[in-house]
Amino acid sequence: MTLGATYQRSSQLAGQSFLNAFSFQPIPDPTNGRVTYVNESTAEEDGLVSVANNKLTLRADYTTTLSSSDSGRKSFRIESNSQYETHVAIFDIAHMPQGCGTWPAICACNEVGANWPNEGEVDIVEGVNDQTPNTCSLHTGSNCTMPSSRSMTGTSDGTDCAAYDNGNSGCGVNINDNKSYGPQFNSNGGGWYAIERSSSYIKIFFWERTSNSVPSDINSPGSSIDTSNWGTPAAYFPDTDCDFPTHFGAHNIIINLTFCGDWAGSSSVYTASGCPSTCVDYVNNNPSAFSNAYFEFNSLNIYQ
């Protein structure tokens, strides 16, 4: 496994500067969720976005009961104004959305448009219905696979990354830490996720807030970082059997929260999560269940 490299900081984002680096996407949900993605002015009016103490909070509506004719629970989908190829991004996350029916994600992709999945997609944080652990995954065009055995602390959950080969489950890695996602992540004070993307590999790292092995690059990010000091990644995606230049283009960072939809709302998935009722009925009728359906970010540092 390639050890890592040195990068220089290009963006130091927190609070309002974090928000300013992104744009709201009031679009139909690509994953067919029970959601209405709102624009920034609606998000501000409805209290779905806020900046306080230099932290950014993004949440879903948790006061409105929906009828079957309503379009979906109001929520957020934001996309970075800049695109990235070779880079490192460090997300300092204090809280992530939780609740039955929730499907939060942080991904690097170029998702909206006719060319998906040929530019590739990297899911950094993703899960449904509070089920741990976090799943990191790639979704690509055809002819991209991962070795079944590779140097990472997570567990492979599929090696074929091609989106159309396996119902778009992609090549996933389950992080070997139940505090990497959902209520257990939140009750532990959150933690740090980092992605390193190069021309020959993608690595994703996770550190719990209470870990005693968090690199200084992570808990106090400076003007430069050296990823070779970060140890074994949670998820490692090498180019052994996947030509990166033809499978991965320039990516935006997308942060969103949907409900139900193709994954969280699949009847078998929802039932197996131990969640009540049906996903859509639960999301429609239990607004107060989503009072904790929010991201709170301390910072985002990007290096290139």
pLDDT tens digits for 88-104? 999 999 999 999 999 99
How confident is the model over 255-278, as pLDDT tens digits?
Answer: 999 999 999 999 999 999 999 999
Catalytic residue (choose from 79, 111, 126, 208): 126
Does 45 qualify as catalytic in the annotation? no
Q: Which helix (H) or strand (E) holds 12?
A: strand 6-13
Does 79 qualify as catalytic in the annotation? no
Q: Which helix (H) or strand (E) holds 193?
A: strand 191-197
CB of 181 closer than 8 Å to CB of 125: yes
CB of 277 closer than 8 Å to CB of 60: no
User: Which ranges constitute the DSSP H helices of 101-252?
Assistant: 182-187, 216-219, 244-247
Q: Cis (ω within 30 of 0) for the bond into 117?
A: yes
Catalytic residue (choose from 121, 196, 208, 296): 121
pLDDT at residue number 112: 66
Whose tokens are 């180019």? That residue is 239
pLDDT at residue number 1: 77
* pTM greater than 0.95: yes
Tokens of 79: 């996309």
pLDDT at residue number 113: 65
- Rounded to 5°, the CA angle 277-278-281 comes to 90
Q: Rounded CA gap, 74 and 24, in Å?
A: 13
pLDDT at residue number 184: 98
Distance of CA 89 to the CA centre of its chain: 12
User: Which ranges constitute the DSSP H helices of the chain?
Assistant: 16-20, 40-45, 182-187, 216-219, 244-247, 261-264, 267-272, 279-285
Mean pLDDT by 10 residues, the chain (304 residues): 91 98 97 98 98 98 97 98 97 98 96 83 98 98 96 97 92 98 98 97 98 96 97 97 96 98 97 97 98 98 98
